[in-house]
Structure formats: C-alpha cells, structure tokens
A = this chain, B = another copy of it.
Amino acid sequence: MRSGRRSGGWARANRPVPAAALAEVLRVTDGFDLAGVDPADTPGFAGGRRDAEQSFAEDGALLSTLQERLWAGGVAGSRRSLLLLVQGMNTAGKGRVLRDVAAAVDPRGLRVASFAAPTAKERTHEFLWRVRRCLPGPGELAVFARSHYEDVLVARVHHLVPRATWQRRYTAINRFESSLVLQETVVVKIMLHLSAGEQSTRLAWRLQHPDLRWRYDPRDVEERAWWNDYQEAYQAALTRCSTEAAPWYVVPADRAWYARWAVRRLLVGELTAMGLEPVPTHVDVQAEVARLTQG
C-alpha cells in the first residue's frame, strides 16, 4: 500500500521535471563554480528515493524504445549516433551508469568502453587515439566510463605531462568533440560529483564485502590526498570544455538513486531531442498479415 499510494500521489502532484528543464539546471554555463555544487543535493527532483525509482523504471522503457529507433535508423543507413561520457572520482558511480544503460537497451546497438591508465602502446599515440577507436558507429549508443578527460585530470594533477601539453589539450578536446557533433554524433558529458566523505564510505563498503573487495585498490586512498587538486582540474575541464556543441552536465552523486535517475533522464532527454521516429518500411502490412495467415 505504502509504495502504491505515495508514488501514485507523487506522480500526479509532483511530476519530475521534464528532461529539458533538468538539463538546464545541471548544465555547466558561464560562471559555473564546482565548489558551489553540493554533492548531496538533488536538483530538479522533489520526491524521495522511491519516487525516483519509479520514474527511473518508466524512463527505462522510454530509453529502450528510443535506442531501438536510433539503432534501427543506423541499420537503415542513418549516420546518427550518441556518445555518453561519464567522469567522476573513484566510486562516483561510473560503472553503475554503464550497467544502467546496458540494462535498458539492446546490447547489439550498445558499445561500452572503460578507460584505465593508458597502456604502453596507447602512450605511443596522441591522447585521443584510443578514444577514437571506441566511438559509436552509425546508430550506436556508446558509453564511456572515463575518457579523454583523464588527460586533463590525472595528467594535470600528477604532472604526467608538461603544463604546456595539458594546456593545449582543452582546445584539442573542443575541436575533437565539435567534429564528432558535425558528423552527427550527439555528445553528452556527465560529471558525477561526489563528496570526499561519501567516497570514504563507499571505499569502506567495498573493503567489507568479499565480492567487491577486488575493486579496492590501496592507491585509491592515497589519491584522496590530491582531492582538491582534482576538484580544480575538474573545474577547469568543465568550464573550458562546456561548449554549445557538447555541454557538460554536473550531477550530484552522493545519493546514488538521484544520480542514476538524473543520468537516465538526461539521456532520454537527448534521445528525445533527436526526434527519432520508428524507421519507415515499405511493407504492405495487410497483405503480409494475409500471407502469414495463409502460410
């Protein structure tokens, strides 16, 4: 009774904001200040966890339909595709986003990539090389956990390359993303914004569960010493690379249920804005049904 009543009431009186309005609230625009965003906040959402879960499930059905249209379009010759790129501190929920997308779409039209520290071979190439190899093909939806932004985040924080090198990369990234958009790839960039306190809780959780322990790396704790440097590097990446063609969205991530809801809603919003329709076919439906009935 409880969930039915509350959700029903909420659904009528307290609809979640439309995807376009959510995007407006979360988009990085002039004067953005990451330090001013509370990771525990739930912007654009008035209900509680249970309401978010219901809305999340409803958006899952929408995502499924829209992704099939995107994919069917690709099969029919369209070049359109979508790249969802997720950044965030360790345990922010990047892997969860991969799973949430995969749970709702046809895996034949999905491409996931996870970018760890570059291999020796990857390091011999320019920084965008490995990313280019994982871009979505026609009709595909690609999801990146980490991305070329690592090359202006960890590379900047730990001085992996000279200052002049990472400085140049912001412009290189903007041109790269702008070229993708011109080639009919919608680029959606989301930062999952986590607090240091919540990260500590999540790392401890991993440690305490035998099935999650393999994901724990003692270096994750050492990285916490650079927390403020990372926030600065994020602030720079977010403000220098939030463009008209490929804006950044910052999603507070301390409440996993909110972050999962918001990411899916942003994704559904982008797919909706693409104006995808069922792919038209030239089949004579009545004649075919008749053939089937005879067969």
Contacts and interface: CB of A to CB of B under 8 A. Distances in A.
A67 to B, nearest CB: 11
Contact of A112 (B101, B108, B288): B108
Contacts of A281: 213-214, 216
Interface string A71-98: 0100110000000000000000001001
A171 to B, nearest CB: 31
A205 to B, nearest CB: 10
A75 B213 CA distance: 13
A289 B202 CA distance: 11
Interface string A95-137: 1001101111111101010100000000000000000000000
Contacts of A36: none
A143 B110 CA distance: 14
A224 B288 CA distance: 13
A204 interface: yes
Contacts of A213: 278-279, 281, 283, 285
A151 interface: no
Given A107-B107, A114-B108, A216-B283, A204 B289 contact: yes
A104 B110 CA distance: 15
Interface in A125-167: 143, 145
A68 interface: yes
Interface of A: 65, 68-69, 72, 75-76, 95, 98-99, 101-108, 110, 112, 114, 143, 145, 200, 203-204, 207-208, 210-211, 213-216, 218, 221, 224-225, 278-279, 281, 283, 285, 288-289, 291-293, 295
Q: Which 4 A-B pairs have the closest CB atoms?
A: A102-B107, A210-B278, A214-B279, A72-B214
